[in-house]
Chains A and B, each alone.
Chain A
Amino acid sequence: MTLLCLNDVSKIFGGLIAINDLSFNVEEGSIVGLIGPNGAGKTTVFNCITGNYTPETGSIFFDSKPIAGLPPHRIVELGIARTFQTIRLFGRLPVLENVLAGRHCRMKAGILSCMLHTAPQRREEREAVARCMEELRFVGLADNYSEPAGGLSYGNQRLLEIARALASDPRLIILDEPAGGMNDQETAALVDTIRHIRNRGITVLLIEHDMRLVMKICEKLIVLEHGAMIAQGKPEDVRRNPDVIEAYLGADDAQW
């Protein structure tokens, strides 16, 4: 079943066409990679899906519902969670509260029950803390729950962003360069984590520059260049595609 569907999506900044009539589908339960040279528009695509940008043309469907133009918090509520390319944690707040931020949209307590700490509010709070600790265990940061998030290592901060995204019960998780700044060992652990996320029934869409990681875990690749798709398919097919080879090696050709 198709979970996410982009239809002729374009995004224009001033005179620059960042994405040009892009269409692709993401099947439920798959791990899909979005790759391409720097400046190809990958993060812009993510920002359109997550509501940070509104595309000029085209439509985006999530679970058959149109989502283009909705505010980001609504899209999280519908079941799309994300991590950021440049880590955006609440650095001065403890690790656990960062994960609780992801849980926020699944909690219901209103302003009055928060002020009075009513019984349902306290129960909800207890459940949220327990659930967020589970997510921290899932990414292996449970022992750090009381530390300020800004004090974690770079790799652990990326894992914390994943935990925060998972806490919102997403059906689709969007990872923007999850392995950025990680060493080989951390990257290997990340591969396992991403597989475990999929095994929980969550669809994964990721941008990544580490080609070994992409080839290892993605079942489908979408290749962007200058905001347009130049290839899509299984990793082994995409790797042999002449257009893709040219897009990635084009710069070297120019030197000859």
Chain B
Amino acid sequence: MNALATDMATEPDAAAETASREELLRVDNVSLSFGGVKAITDISFDILKGEIRAIIGPNGAGKTSMLNVINGFYHPQQGTITWQGKERRKIKPHEAVSQGIARTFQNVALFKGMSTLDNIMAGRATAMKANIFFQMFWYGPAMREEIEHRKKVEDIIDFLEIQAIRRTPVGKLPYGLQKRVELARALAMEPDLLLLDEPMAGMNLEEKEDMSRFILDVNQEFGTTIALIEHDMGVVMDLSDRVVVLDYGKKIADGTPEEVQGNQDVIDAYLGVAH
């Protein structure tokens, strides 16, 4: 983790850089409740193009609900979501994908009966258009499309160093690799915004270091904006440009990692308040 910290320090002043950046997504006064249970109350924040934005908070703070709102899986009762400068109407999850929002899941949600390659190819579902009649005979456009997308998928496989497990059914892979395949599948969607829900949960130190490196690489090489939920504070503080802190569905802090770390509300939320 120390290596990562120095890596971040050598970069130009992150705060100054983000200030000039364009807004990719903006959430305004969003509230979401399930029956009487309020999952999110009146939350507003923005995600700037090209940054790594962390969403943190204790258990049950509404972090995953927030991601589900962003990718259209839940529809908030109140508030607006502005995507690339335009206010977004109510959308379905697959529409969010075609708009450029991809995500991974807290509990690995891969297609267990399919090989790694097929899983990542499935991530290109919205980009593939070949007609069923060409598919039937594996001919012309269908075959060309298959090859063209295979090339892109192979680039991602190289990037994430999972060449060796290309043909393995993902159900047989160890947990750390499954998480990596899931990241690969999300990358195959070529997203503008990548939502990562606890990408390091259940990993050992080495796997966490690998995953951190991949996240930074994705951000820097592809220019993908990343919003991540993570409980490992070392990772969050090292990777992210800005952090939103939620607690009981409310936003309690927003700012650079240093600002957030010094915030009394955040310290109270995590450590509790002395009575």
Q: Is B a genuine binding partner of A?
A: no
